[in-house]
Amino acid sequence: MNRYAKNITERTEMVRREALRLGFDAVGFARARRLEREESRLEQWLKEDRHGTMQWMENHFEKRVDPRRLVPGAVSVVSLMISYHQPELAETQVTSDNPKISKYALGDDYHKVVKEKLFELFEFTGSVTGNIEGRVFVDSAPVLDKAWAVESGIGWMGKHTNVMNREWGSWFFLAEMIVDAEFDYSAPVTDHCGSCTRCIDACPTDAIYEPYKVDGSKCISYFTIELRDEIPEEYQQQMGEWIFGCDICQDVCPWNRKAKPGAEERLFARPESADRDIDYWEELDLEKYRELFRKSTVKRAKFDGLKRNIKVAGANLRNPENGYIKVASRDDWR
């Protein structure tokens, strides 16, 4: 069957419909160009050492700010979003005193799940354009995925620097196709954070040092995932129960209380790693770690890193005076 689109508008709608059919929850289209505003922001962020030990953030600067350097001949950036939101899990995590893993990491490795859908969409896009050159990305290359999601109308940049969507909150993964085909381009959406500062107020480490600016070197996610050294003593108490990642700034966001649930079950939490007590985690050995996280992004922290995090969380849980310094009670960020 010949599926070639007769014009750019038809092509755009065909790709949009196919993306939704494959299980993506939103899709947006933007012209590939140099992101000059993001370029200056990233340059300043790096100069101020906000990236901590993540030296890889300094690499491929030109490719980060201009997708045409990353994919020669690129004309468009197609941004896609897929939710992993489980409302019941969000409630459980906020009220539980057990060690916590960021919700995005409790299901199967999103890189593989989402890229599988992306490859299908890329093949379909080639079938409606007649021919296509390009690449697909899921948090796996120097692509400013949040900036492109905003540029393509997926959502707006929240004050915690996560992309926000009125229907889906911020509980979603982003992905991109950077291709040499042209589409009808989407318009950016309005910022709906208003005067709210709940994410800033709730951050235990003051990582959100200004609205729309995050110091990566102070973020609990950085400490528990990226940092290979010992966690600085002055931040260990603020880590609370987090052993991989952190969701506090998203948990307190009013938009996330209204977010629609996701539909891709492979991204949902596995019972064996969700809401387990400290004794369970302290007994974790290398064999069990490999079995438990075989298909999980938690592997990024490495076994030694996860055990380090568990030790800190255990100390906080066993000392009632420990915990989040800035948050008086759980009701403040429920």
**Both 170 and 140 in a single domain?**
yes
Helix axes 8-22, 110-129, angle to 10 degrees: 150
Residue 192 lies in a domain: no
Distance CA 145, CA 165 (A): 15
**Both 204 and 119 in a single domain?**
no
Residue 83 lies in a domain: yes
**Both 154 and 28 in a single domain?**
yes
- List 139, 180, 191, 201, catalytic entry: 139
Residue 263 lies in a domain: no
Distance CA 246, CA 203 (A): 10
CB within 8 A of 200, min separation 6: which ones?
159, 160, 208, 211
Nearest 5°: CA angle at 144, between 141 and 148? 125
pLDDT tens-place values along the chain, 334 residues long? 446 677 999 999 999 999 999 999 999 999 999 999 999 999 999 999 999 999 889 999 999 999 999 999 999 999 999 999 999 887 777 788 899 999 999 999 999 999 999 999 999 999 999 889 999 999 988 999 999 999 999 999 999 999 999 999 999 999 999 999 999 999 999 999 999 999 999 999 999 999 999 999 999 999 999 999 999 999 999 999 999 999 999 999 999 999 999 999 999 998 888 889 999 999 999 999 999 999 999 999 999 999 999 999 999 999 866 655 444 334 444 4
Active site residue 139: yes
**Both 94 and 209 in a single domain?**
no
**Both 246 and 128 in a single domain?**
no
CATH of the domain at 104: 3.40.109
Residue 279 lies in a domain: yes
**Both 142 and 206 in a single domain?**
no
Q: Which tokens hold the place of 295?
A: 């298909």
**Both 85 and 219 in a single domain?**
no
Give me the pLDDT at residue 97, please: 87
Give me the pLDDT at residue 334, please: 42
Q: From residue 124, give the alpha-carbon distance in Å to each of 14, 18, 71, 73, 183.
A: 9, 8, 19, 20, 14
The one-letter amino acid code at 123 reads E
Distance CA 208, CA 206 (A): 5
Domain count, the chain: 2
Residue 262 lies in a domain: no
**Both 231 and 126 in a single domain?**
no
Residue 162 lies in a domain: yes
Residue 149 lies in a domain: yes
Range of the domain at 218: 198-255+269-333
**Both 79 and 160 in a single domain?**
yes
**Both 175 and 208 in a single domain?**
no
**Both 315 and 204 in a single domain?**
yes
**Both 244 and 322 in a single domain?**
yes
Give me the pLDDT at residue 333, please: 41
Residue 244 lies in a domain: yes
